[in-house]
Amino acid sequence: MISAWQGQRVRLRAVEPADWSAFHAFDQDSDAVRHGWRLEPPRSVARTKQWATELAEKDPDLDEVRLVVAVGESDEPVGMINTHGVDRMHGTFVYGISIGTPHHRKGYASEAIVLLLRYMFFERRFQKAEAWVYSSNEPSLALHRRLGFVEEGRRRRSRYAAGRYDDEILFGMLNEEFVERHQ
């Protein structure tokens, strides 16, 4: 049996309550958290458990998804990928991905992104994916360029973190560009 959610290295799956410990550990890496969105005060174990349970029990939405990036026989969480900013009228969506620092540079992010885009383009009929990347996040900038995303714009000095301002760089990929590069 072939699953649309399974690649060679990763599997995208729903959040389970037991995933709390992996995500609690990932949250301890402040530099990695800053690359994703924003640094927040530490979350208690109880709150992290509650967060994972709430996500696990939430009714699924076909277009706004939040999935665990998992690897290996143990289905170990190494990160998370999600869609948001879904515009069904125009067929566009934004996605974000975060891979825990111990799991960087293993090809997990690129494979997870391709799996998610394949679903959004071929199962949900979206025509464009967008991703916002902070200018200080060189690995993510390189990843998106390598995957074939096109730099479409820049919001100058739109985020403040770690004592400096970052630009936000908008990347986009059209369905046809995805097919040409990844099918």
* pTM recorded for the entire structure: 0.93
Q: Tell me: the pLDDT tens digits for 117-146?
A: 999 999 999 999 999 999 999 999 999 999
Q: Tell me: the pLDDT tens digits for 34-76?
A: 777 677 888 899 998 999 999 999 998 999 999 999 998 889 9
Q: How far apart are the first and last CA of the chain?
A: 20
Q: What strands lie across the sheet with 92-99, from one edge to the other?
A: 11-13, 66-71, 76-87, 92-99, 128-134, 164-174, 150-161
DSSP, collapsed to helix, strand or coil, labels residue 118 as helix
CATH fold of the domain at 11-182: Aminopeptidase (3.40.630)
Cα four-point dihedral sign 59, 78, 98, 129: negative
Domain boundaries defined on the chain = 11-182
